[in-house]
Amino acid sequence: MNPLRPLILAAAESPRLKRALTGIPVTADIVRRFVAGETRIDLIGVARTLLNSGRMVSVDFLGENTTDRNQAEATVAEYLSLINDLAALDRPVLPGIAVPPVEVSVKLSALGQALPVDGPAIATENLRILCTKAAQADVWVTVDAEDHTTTEATLATVRELRCEFPWLGAVLQAYLHRTESDCREMSGSGSRIRLCKGAYREPPEVAFQRASEVTDSYLRCLEVLMRGEGYPMVASHDPVPIAAAADLAAQRGRDADRFEYQMLYGIRSPEQQRLAAAGSAVRVYVPYGSQWYGYLTRRLAERPANLAFFLRALVSKS
Ligand code: FDA
């Protein structure tokens, strides 16, 4: 793991730094690289281009850690409009792939999970509203993973709603010690699990710290999911898990619509296109909205080169 990552994530929590950085318009090159734009119109343009290129999309309306109920309700309203707009897009013909090409990704903390009274119940109810709409529109929903203090509540919500919406997806983070066991529990028939390494600053009591340990854990978890009966979503840009997924799929006779690769908008686009051209299902996670700060700082922390690029852009504009 990038040795600067904990430092960058800790610094990013400073309100002064946040004020300074969010003063930069979203058009700043580095923000634009990772975020489709501030509005749904910007997002739909990007989603259309990705779909036309043979890639699928999962769209995240940026926002997290809402402590205001009205804000959570505004987020639900935006997601409902987003699902409508995504459902209206022309769907690409992807030979051998029958899964819905459009999906939304959602953080429960944006739906009210962190509200001081009944937060998890409010978030669950809000997610139920989104899933009901998504089911009518043939749009999938996957619940993002946030920091480890939320994992138990988030998975409880997913388990509850999967009784009504068996296609509801969840994200598991390979850096958490608990995840291999969660993968075992959640690898049953129809279960959609997006496996990622994990992007938050976590203590050694709950998470592997070294990059090699995280990759090893990812590979163990991936094997559990690929041997299971569910639908694994291989969310990584790392060539090692990507190659391992191809090998495991071949061993298990999983064809292209029984698992998918997923990558973030703006990262390794040529690799996304290579996999899609080879007939694999590839989905790109596309964020939009004005609340890009938390998302962007996690992307900067993953790669020092991004931070250097960002600082250069800042200096050249000042
Ligand atoms: P790793 O960090 O080792 O990167 C491998 C290679 O990918 C790098 O060498 C570089 O080439 C490229 N790369 C990776 N990150 C880059 C960056 N920021 N900029 C430029 N190049 C980069 N996390 C989480 O905690 N909760 C979640 O819900 C999600 N959701 C999610 C969805 C999807 C679809 C993806 C792909 C990822 C997430 N993540 C996430 C983020 C994830 O946990 C992780 O932080 C990043 O994917 C980076 O890890 P990699 O597996 O790519 O490996």
Answer whether 197 contacts ligand 1 (Cβ < 6 A).
yes
Count other Cβ atoms within 10 Å, centred on residue 282: 26
Closest by CA position to 240, among listed 211, 269, 260: 211
Instruction: Tell me what pLDDT residue 105 has.
Output: 98
3-state secondary structure of 23: coil
For the chain, the distance separating the N- and C-terminal CA atoms, rounded to the nearest angstrom, is 32
| Pocket lining: 285 vs ligand 1, CB cutoff 6 Å | yes
The low-confidence residues of the chain, meaning pLDDT below 70, are 1-2, 24-27, 313-318
In terms of Cα–Cα distance, which of 192, 199, 224, 225 is closest to 214? Answer: 199
Q: Whose CA is nearest to atom 43 of ligand 1?
A: 198
pLDDT at residue 15 in the model: 79
Q: Answer whether 262's CB lies under 8 Å from 194's CB.
A: yes
Mutate to test the pocket of ligand 1, among 103, 302, 303, 310 (most ligand atoms within 8 A of CB): 302
Catalogue the active-site residues: 144, 194
Rounded to an integer, what distance in angstroms lies between the CA atom of residue 72 and that of residue 247?
A: 42
pTM over 0.85, yes/no: yes
For the Cβ of 198 lying below 6 angstroms from any atom of ligand 1, the answer is yes
pLDDT digits over 102-138, tens only? 999 999 999 999 999 999 999 999 999 999 999 999 9
* Tens-place pLDDT, residues 248-263: 999 999 999 999 999 9
Contact 196 CB / ligand 1 (< 6 Å): yes
Q: What is the DSSP string of 292-308?
A: -HHHHHHHHHH-HHHHH
CA 286 – ligand 1 centroid, Å:
13
- Residue 299 CB less than 6 A away from ligand 1: yes
pLDDT, residue 32, reads 87
User: Which residue has a Cα nearest atom 2 of ligand 1?
Assistant: 302
The minimum-distance atom of ligand 1 relative to the CA of 241 is 51
Q: Given this model, what pLDDT does residue 313 score?
A: 67
AA identity, residue 42: D
Contact 75, 63 (CB under 8 A): yes
Q: State which ligand 1 atom lies nearest to the alpha carbon of 215.
A: 3
CA 70–ligand 1 middle distance (angstroms): 31
Per-residue pLDDT, 318: 52
* Spatial separation of the C-alpha atoms in residues 227 and 108, rounded to whole Å: 29
69 lines ligand 1 (CB under 6 A): no
